[in-house]
Amino acid sequence: MDVKIEASWKEILSPEFNKPYFRQIALHLKTEKSQKKIIYPPGSLIFNAFNATPVQQIKVVILGQDPYHGPGQAHGLCFSVPDGVAQPPSLINVFKELHNDIGVPIPTNGNLTHWAEQGVFLLNASLSVRAGEPMSHSKIGWAEFTDCVIKKISELKVHVVFLLWGKFAQEKRVLIDEAKHLVLKAAHPSPLSANSGFFGCRHFSKTNEYLVKNGIDPIDWKV
């Protein structure tokens, strides 16, 4: 795979691109494409989170599990959808909590690029998925790559806020040095679990309080 990725990430991650597991990811995607399988997001957007948020700009990490698997939804930023695409249920609940926490008006679109450009790194643990098949690429090697990414952020940065929503994201806590960073945990914003601790978690205000306390500009959470 010819990885087109922002320069600071390329420098940090280039050793990974030459490892057998990463070559296996590239081969897997190439094979599925040759079999006429539809893969989301489009190839040019697989590394969108990295290109939108260079390493030096990271203030917050939100970790998702898997790209959206419906047509036109995934664009390489977890929980986000492009302009004009209906907001998925989990994202609707994120916006409800955001409104209840800090009063941000509930947006009409679900594109979180504005967050990414301010330093909110919107990382999915798997960076691709087959159309209509959730978690279909969760075992092809992406977890090894994105675990490395989380560890690198923890090692190279200080005072990053990690928002871990749901059991899957919380399992990544072991990769983060909590002496240097803030880890906030809550239930997943999915309709199945949002009432079990996502609503009322106040992660958006807590994030900004921590950033300001450490001399870092807060996030403008408007979309």
* 138 Cβ contact list (under 8 Å, min separation 6): 65, 66, 125, 126
- Chain mean position to CA 117: 13
Sign of torsion, CA 86 162 199 126? Answer: positive
Task: Report yes or no: 53 and 80 within 8 Å, Cβ to Cβ.
Answer: no
* 174 Cβ contact list (under 8 Å, min separation 6): none
3-state secondary structure of 162: strand
Residue 42, token pair as written in the block: 């489009």
Catalytic (active site) residue 101: no
Which amino acid is located at 165 in the chain?
Answer: W
Residue 1, token pair as written in the block: 């795979």
Identified catalytic residue from 2, 66, 217, 220: 66
The residues annotated with a catalytic role in the active site are 66
